[in-house]
Amino acid sequence: MARHPRLLAAAALAMLAGACQTVATVDQPEGAVLALRGPIRARTVDQLTRLVPTTPPDGRLVIALASGGGDFMSALEIAHRLEAIPHSTAVVTRECDSACVVIFAAARERLVARDAVFAVHRPVCTTAGLLGLPCRVFWEPWARREFHARIARVAPRWADYLDAQDPPAFARSGAAAVRVTGSQLIRFDAAAPLTRDAMHLALDGWAGSP
């Protein structure tokens, strides 16, 4: 159990309400709460590395996400860090788009507000012209497969829904993304409803955890 569960819960709920900077943290000896807000960039990875050890002391991390997306590879690096944490929980109350979804899908538990919005589209190279040709020919197909596989592992019904759109989500870019709500993700078994009890459980330790 965390030593200060009420303090942690209050801090987490404050961050979820938007009272946070681009990256902020409340660290306790036996747990960590992190808020990631805004564009996902290489510096976001650097901030995360400084704020949170590779494995938190009790193997638990709660991360509140509010991002319109950003760099796919930076998000993937953060996802790999989350996957190495035994008890990670991602929380979304408003939006989680594009690269943010990569991080969301990496958490072992996911909590969402029912009116939160999630947007998915294909990863796109940013280098134009001939210099971007190898990226478009080789990297983009790999990144699409990687993104799709991560969503499919979390919830096959979510992946099926994205594939069933016309055009499919991973054939789209930018503002043409396919959007789903938190309520839909709950129905797809991709996440659980965000409640005060669920948040306390994430902060204090899941049932059956050491």
Domains annotated on the chain, with CATH: 5-204 (3.90.226.10)
Predicted local confidence at residue 1, as pLDDT: 33
| Amino acid, single-letter form, for residue 161 | Y
The C-alpha atoms of residue 60 and residue 77 are separated, in whole angstroms, by 18
What are the distances in angstroms from CA 209 to CA 144, 146, 203?
34, 30, 12
**CB–CB of 105/75 below 8 Å?**
no
**Token reading at 71:** 């760099």
Predicted local confidence at residue 147, as pLDDT: 98
Predicted local confidence at residue 32, as pLDDT: 60
Please report how the helices 140-154 and 99-106 are oriented relative to each other, as an axis angle in degrees rounded to 10. Answer: 40
pTM for this model (two decimals): 0.84
| Amino acid, single-letter form, for residue 58 | D
The single residue listed with the structure tokens 């808020």 is 35
**79-96 b/e (C-beta count within 10 Å ≥ 16 → b):** bebbeebebbbbbbbbbb
Q: Which residues of the chain have pLDDT under 50?
A: 1-30, 207-210
Predicted local confidence at residue 57, as pLDDT: 65
**CB–CB of 135/125 below 8 Å?**
yes
